[in-house]
Amino acid sequence: MCHRRGANEEKRRQECGWNVAAGHGRRPGSYNSPVANSIAVVEDEDNIRETVAFALRREGYDVRMFRDGLEAWEAFDGRLPDLAILDITMPRMDGLELCRKLRAKSETLPIIFLTSRDEELDRILGLELGADDYLCKPFSMRELTARVKVLFRRLAFLQDPKAQREEAPLRCGPLELDLQRYLVTWNGRPVELTVTEFMMLHSLVRHPGHVKSRKQLTKEGYPNDTYISDRTIDTHIKRLRRKFEEVDARFSAIETVYGVGYRWVSGGPGP
Amino acid sequence: MHRISIRLMAFNLLLVFLPVGGILYLGSYETKLLAAQRRALEEQARLLSASLSGYDEPARRASDVLAQRERLQASNEEPVRLRVVGTNGRLVADSLTFSLRTAPPENRARRNILYRTGATILRPVLGLSRLTEPPLAEAGSDQLLGREVGAALRGDVASAERISPDNRSVTVSVAYPIRSGGRIGGAVLASQSTFTILQDLYTVRLGVLRIFLISLVVAIILSFLVGTTIVKPLQQLRVQAGEILDRRGRLRGRFRGSDKKDEIGDLARALERLTGRLDEHVRFTESFAADVSHEFKNPLASIRTATEMLAEVDEPAQRKRFRRMVEQEIARMESLLSGVREVTMIDAQLPTEQRQRVDVAALLGRIVEGFRMRERDRVEIGLETSGEGFDVEASEDRLIQVFVNVLENAISFSPEGGTVTVSVNRNDRKITTTISDQGPGIPEGNLGRVFDRFFSHRPDTSRARTSHTGLGLAIVKATVDGYGGSVDAANNPGGGARFEIRLPAAARRES
């Protein structure tokens, strides 16, 4: 999502000390100081909306519920929430349109999509909407709250570049993974990944050269979710590769091992 | 070239080759003419031989006879040359020395470039090989060495054919022995050019060859024309057929049809309809599976998140709330399942079901009565019928389901105190039931989609979702279509939606 965040931010990120020795990151959720905490849940299914709102409120967030895109958009009235969870198919105004409207107002607002079709996931990924994550229905509430936490943490660091890092980034050749902020650079250039993509990449990079099966990637990409199809994993890997290729046309570090899964070929082409 | 084109070409060319048969026939005609000529010459030679036999000195006598004969010979015929040779083969007398005539002018046909080309090609084919008989006499010699002369001097009658010295024709010669006493005193050689006969033959041959060549060109052009008008459209169909199936053998398109009025056009249109129908069916099955899985994901998501919450909260009120949510969503999945089953079974079951005469007006009367009792004052339901004979052939249960679904839909969109109007009409062979409400109407863009399965447009979500599967109108459409009727949705000019269900009327009862 390089197109989304300005060069300004890129500069800010360069400033905050990347070159620290390699080390392992913490699990999401271990960092616990949400700077911002208002969340908009836009979903036309009453029961899903209410359960999600209930669960997030229990985590201490300020949650507002909306039944469709138009209702949400009118209610925001210029004051955006700190994070938005959007369903895709909704009457009056669907999630895609609302996302576009929100992006026009804010480039950094974290957005999570809830989708109910695999095909839908393919389509919305192709739209380059600049969402920060996607969860397929039926998703697990634990998974959703974990993602929300990660996104708030990423947001906090982006808004306060001076904040000290507790842990060193994971380095592997030209690749650098910042496990606290869920940020990635390749040859020093930032690659904008969704949280799921980041987690899958981390899983691959942690053991360079080792083949990860789709099942393993599912487990690590969606730690709390078990109903993810192999196709969804393939879609994410395809996206990952494309995002790296946008930064470096010669990128080929993610290798498909036919019939088994994927692996990270250590190093890859240097600068 | 394509096989059909080649076949057409072959048939056309076969017809064209008939004139060649004519040429062959002319060949045998020529042979007969030559045989007749040979007989005539033999006759002349025999006469001369007879008139000379018995003379000790045939030479002088021969010259007299030949000179006299030459004067008598008709001038319009090709002259017969008569020669008399002695026992040693030397020429004794020759009618040519007494001839007064000049050679007739040559017919141009044989010089024609077309003729010569044709002759070069056809000669080996038809076996008209050039004559190879050695010449009668060596140049400048009066000793006749011909095969036939030798035979005559031995006492036989013989004939030979040679190319004339002018190279324009064939000369037929017949030798006849002259007997005087018991021995042979010489021979008479009668010879005549076939020139006149051949001239006519050449002209005919050239004419036939011209016709043949012209027909050949015409046949090739015609074959190509017919080939393109038949083969081209067929080829296009084949290309389309190839494009329709992708590499994995799946249907990925349809025939584009044709404007042609001929049989190939009919074939193209039939294929278009066939693939259109197939495509529709494939799409239906593919999208149905996707739709069903999509529809089930929302209740599943609700159940999953609610059960997660159940495991985490202890407060009885909250626990009760989530438990009720799970129950609600399970009920929704059940109704979805039975709806899905119904929609898919209608096509299979309708044709085998027992049908009976059902009076639509009477049936609607009972249904409306039931709804009035349920709705009481909330929504008023009016029923109007005009005319008589509202019988249709159908299963009563199916019809009840159709009308109940449409009425349910109309009532659910009706405002408090609104009116739903049901009217039944018979026009021609259709019984039309119209159900109008005073609700918000159907958004213009959704008019075509209200009968799609799982399509549900309910801005007021509080009343919706769990109780509306989005299958009711889809079931209506599948059933009405199955009975050969039709169903349409529209908006009333004065607001509100209007559904029209048309069913084919049963034949009027004879009584």
Question: Which tokens belong to B75?
Answer: 């001038």
Task: Tell me if A84 sits within 8 A of A133, measured CB to CB.
Answer: no
* Cα A87 from Cα A68, distance rounded (Å): 9
What was the ipTM of the complex prediction?
0.73
C-alpha distances in Å from residue A61, one per residue of A47, A65, B439, B447: 19, 12, 40, 42
Q: CB A46 to CB B461 under 8 A? A: yes
Q: Rounded to a whole number, what is the distance in Å from the CA of B293 to chain A's nearest CA?
A: 8
Count CB pairs under 8 A between chains A and B: 73
Q: List chain A residues with CB under 8 Å of B330.
A: none
In terms of C-beta distances under 8 Å and separation of at least 24 residues, what long-range contacts does B246-253 make, across chains too? B250/B282, B251/B275, B251/B278, B251/B279, B251/B282, B253/B279
A257 closest CA partner among A218, A216, A212: A212
Q: CB A55 to CB B290 under 8 A? A: no
Q: Which backbone phi and psi does B94 adopt, to 5 degrees?
A: -145, 125
Q: Which backbone phi and psi does B25 adopt, to 5 degrees?
A: -65, -40
Q: Which backbone phi and psi does B180 adopt, to 5 degrees?
A: -135, 120
The residue type at B153: L
A120 closest CA partner among A235, A3, A2, A237: A235
* Cα B306 from Cα B315, distance rounded (Å): 14
* Cα B330 from Cα B169, distance rounded (Å): 111
Q: Rounded to a whole number, what is the distance in Å from the CA of A223 to chain B's nearest CA?
A: 15
Q: CB B297 to CB A52 under 8 A? A: no
* Cα B350 from Cα B346, distance rounded (Å): 6
Q: CB B297 to CB A117 under 8 A? A: yes
C-alpha distances in Å from residue B152, one per residue of B143, B144, B146: 14, 12, 10
Distance of CA B149 to the CA centre of its chain: 68
- Taking the Cβ of residue A134 and every Cβ of chain B, the question of whether any pair is shorter than 8 Å is answered with no
Task: Tell me if A68 sits within 8 A of A97, measured CB to CB.
Answer: no
- Taking the Cβ of residue A142 and every Cβ of chain B, the question of whether any pair is shorter than 8 Å is answered with yes
Q: CB B305 to CB A140 under 8 A? A: yes
Task: Tell me if A133 sits within 8 A of A114, measured CB to CB.
Answer: no
Q: List chain B residues with CB under 8 Å of A50.
A: 325
Element (H, E) at A239: helix A230-247
* Cα B272 from Cα B285, distance rounded (Å): 20
Q: CB A48 to CB B302 under 8 A? A: yes
- Nearest by CB to B297, which of A46, A47, A137? A137
* Cα B298 from Cα A96, distance rounded (Å): 18
Task: Tell me if B59 sits within 8 A of B93, measured CB to CB.
Answer: yes
Q: CB A141 to CB B302 under 8 A? A: no
**To the nearest 10°, the Cα dihedral for A224, A229, A230, A234?**
-90
Q: Rounded to a whole number, what is the distance in Å from the CA of B302 to chain A's nearest CA?
A: 5
- Nearest by CB to B298, which of A137, A140, A141? A137
Q: CB B465 to CB A92 under 8 A? A: no
Q: List chain A residues with CB under 8 Å of B458.
A: 91
CB neighbour class for B285 (10 Å; exposed up to 12, middle 13-18, buried from 19): exposed
* Cα A42 from Cα A50, distance rounded (Å): 10
Helix ranges restricted to H, B158-262:
195-244
- Kindly identify which residue of chain B lies nearest to residue A145, measuring between CA atoms: B305
Question: Which tokens belong to B140?
Answer: 């400048």
- Taking the Cβ of residue A224 and every Cβ of chain B, the question of whether any pair is shorter than 8 Å is answered with no
Interstrand relation of A62-66 and A38-42 (parallel, antiparallel or unpaired): parallel
- Tens of pLDDT along chain B (511 residues) come to 567 777 777 887 887 777 777 777 777 777 788 888 888 888 888 888 888 777 666 667 777 777 777 776 655 566 788 888 888 878 878 877 776 655 555 566 667 777 777 777 766 655 444 556 677 776 667 777 788 888 888 888 888 888 776 666 678 888 888 887 777 888 888 888 777 677 777 777 778 778 888 888 888 888 888 878 778 878 888 888 877 776 666 666 667 767 777 777 888 888 888 877 787 777 777 777 777 887 888 889 999 999 999 998 889 998 999 999 999 899 888 888 888 888 878 877 877 888 888 888 888 888 888 888 888 778 888 888 877 788 888 888 888 888 988 888 888 888 888 888 888 888 878 888 888 888 887 887 777 777 877 776 665 544 444 456 778 888 888 888 888 888 888 888 888 888 988 988 887 765 4
Q: CB B465 to CB A45 under 8 A? A: yes
* Cα B153 from Cα B151, distance rounded (Å): 5
Query: Whole-prediction pTM value?
Result: 0.56
**Residue found by looking up tokens 């080929």 in the block:** A252
Return the HEC string of B430-486.
Answer: EEEEEEECCCCCCCHHHCCCCCCCCCCCCCCHHHCCCCCCCCHHHHHHHHHHHCCCE
Summarize pLDDT for A47-105 with one digit per residue, the tens. 899 999 999 998 889 999 998 888 899 888 878 899 999 988 887 888 888 988 888 88
Task: Tell me if B146 sits within 8 A of B175, measured CB to CB.
Answer: yes
* Cα A224 from Cα A234, distance rounded (Å): 19
Task: Tell me if B368 sits within 8 A of B422, measured CB to CB.
Answer: yes
* Cα B32 from Cα A68, distance rounded (Å): 106
Question: Which tokens belong to B341?
Answer: 């089953």
Q: CB B297 to CB A116 under 8 A? A: yes
